[in-house]
Structure 1
């Protein structure tokens, strides 16, 4: 296998500097269960995750539950790395990789409520989201829509600041390297559904069933019986990445063209 360590990150675009919804889990190669990783304070900041990632070495594959690109509508056609740099420049003064300033900077692109007119006129989907929708596994949300509990756009923008600063190879925007770390976009619910579950994983019994379908041993007996869904998302992502990373078809989606690879990107686990 190309990778020997697998990291699942549930991410957040919320304001503030400490985020209970940000969770990190690690799986080593083999079949040991994923391990939850917490900072000394017990609650992650986004900058703390960036620092932690920067301290990793070796052949590590990181999956982050956030968009890395926007649909290639006329105002978002530049290569993604240029967009990440633009977000960083506009939002450089915001604490903890915050990116709310970019929303005002490109206000005409986003939908924040009825004052912006019909939602569907701005709710553009990337090709990877259209493929996921056609699979019948779930209903994707446009990352141009910034209102509602399921919105992912704010997390997308803060993730772009992390990617710009981290300077790792990012699949599929960059060629897959033969050695070293790689980070990519995932959708945690896709890994839960590959494990046989629709909806969030919030209890250890369900989690262990899903882990087993990903070839993982169950969580330790001392692990809590229930937990927030963000914890379940990080854990199942780590195990899911380990389970499928050596299967070539996940790296070669039929609809992933070179142009899409450098602009919109792709959600690993969608084919």
Structure 2
């Protein structure tokens, strides 16, 4: 199979195969370099209309990695959304890291490089990668803006431009500064994706399996916007607001939570949306998703 053909095959297969998911899982991710980040949250929905349930426990990234492996071993037909970017921009410069001989040619190679260079970091963090003498030149970090980080907001993937057309506010994965940055989450997620290779496939980098779980990239602000949350409001922190948004995805009201932070509510609403959207074959075949992008940048599920 030649370069790009695997991703293209995956998109065509999703267009014609029966998806038939039984479980829908949304994971709000975190790049915090501690064992149990407060931002990790997991919600689980099943076929039907019952509201997703928050799997409320002090998760670590290692816990989630092992839990996903267990789902794969059991063959659970789950659609699993990860709130992170699985790759850096590629198309704009023809490389993730222009001028670096070790710059990988595709997503899986990128995940392997990040994991290898960060192998000594505890808790599946990626501090060593962004401290690497060459890699760091591409990132904006607190007190250290690399000389290859372009002026302005930084580089963006093609699907992130699509997010902007949906009136979302994506951040460059090369930006590691600020409360809304996603770069640290994405880098730690790449380590997990590498360690899951051979167990779970990530759309659209991989062909669609006929059985077992499937991973997709999600942007948790998208379900909220689709459910009617107005632009400028990004947090769901009370039960009434959560139930009103769940209703837009044909979900019954949720069971009371012990906490109403935006990580928990984002995960619950995203799981309901995944169940609502999973059979929309247009979402699995966005017109702008080329074989090259499927191999290098990936795509955010739900972005047309």
Displacement after TM superposition at 1:134 (Å): 2.1
Q: Select which of 182, 186, 194 maps to 1:152.
A: 182
Task: Report the TM-score when normalising by structure 2.
Answer: 0.83
| 1:66-215 matched pairs, under 5 angstroms | 66-72=84-90, 73=93, 74=95, 75=97, 78-105=105-132, 106-113=135-142, 115-116=144-145, 120=151, 123-135=154-166, 137-167=167-197, 168-198=200-230, 199-215=234-250
Distance (Å, rounded) in 1 between the aligned partners of 2:143 and 2:131: 17
TM-score, normalised to structure 1, is 0.93
**CA-CA distance at 1:2 after TM superposition:** 2.0
Rounded Cα–Cα distance in structure 1 between residues aligned with 2:121 and 2:158: 31
Please, which runs of 5 or more residues in structure 2 have no aligned partner? 1-18, 98-102
Instruction: Using the TM superposition, give the Cα deviation of residue 51 of structure 1 relative to its aligned residue in structure 2, in angstroms.
Output: 1.1
Aligned to 1:227: 260
Match among 45, 59, 71 for residue 60 of structure 2: 45
Q: Give the whole-Å Cα distance in 2 for the aligned partners of 1:246 and 1:204.
A: 28
Decide whether the 8 Å contact of 2:153 with 2:171 is kept in 1: no
Q: Kindly state the Cα deviation for residue 113 of structure 1 after the two structures are TM-superposed.
A: 4.7
Q: Say if 1:2 and 1:178, in contact at 8 Å, map to a contact too.
A: no
Post-superposition, which runs of at least 4 consecutive aligned residues in structure 1 deviate over 3 A? 117-122
SS in 2 for 1:150: coil
- Any stretches of 5+ residues in structure 1 without a counterpart? none
